[in-house]
Amino acid sequence: MQKQLGFQRISADTAQKQRDHIATKWMEEHPLFPASDPAPQPKRKPGRPPKLPQKLAASPDPAPPAKKARTGHYTNWFSSPYINDVLQALERHSYNFKRAVDWLKQHAPDGRFQRLSDSTVRAWFEKGTHSLFPSCQHACDGPLGYYAVRSHLICSLCAFDLLRCIHR
């Protein structure tokens, strides 16, 4: 029967010595507290920590809070002289925002409408209607009102188209 097992039988004392040797070897390789690390700090007491006195909490030179920088350059189209051009282009193109803005970009004598997008113009109007939001209408109204001002002014793009047709 001894030859069938493939290993030698040992006594209980020898088995205990092997277990002790393996355990001490493992403890040497895996110490409870590594020699380079200090002992763990005790946990703080439960509850909110006490407040620091005002003199300790404030720094000697408090820095002013940093303002959040805007990520880009924004154009207030209602304060620009070109708002009438935009509104007239919308009427000319049946309030198709994309076509109107593309037309403005193509026919402007300079790059004045390059920063204008159709989503910007779309945000000025109530959804499904051709009426400006009250805040946009108020910003657009002059002292005589939007329609009075628009009826007395020739849009700069229309004047540009007119001059281009005359000089041909």
Q: What is the pLDDT of residues 117-144, one digit of tens each?
A: 899 888 888 888 878 888 877 777 754 4
At 152 the pLDDT is 39
pLDDT at residue 153 is higher than 50:
no
Report the run of H or E that residue 162 belongs to, with start and end. Answer: helix 156-166
Higher pLDDT, 37 or 119: 119
Distance from C-alpha of 20 to C-alpha of 25, rounded to nearest angstrom: 9
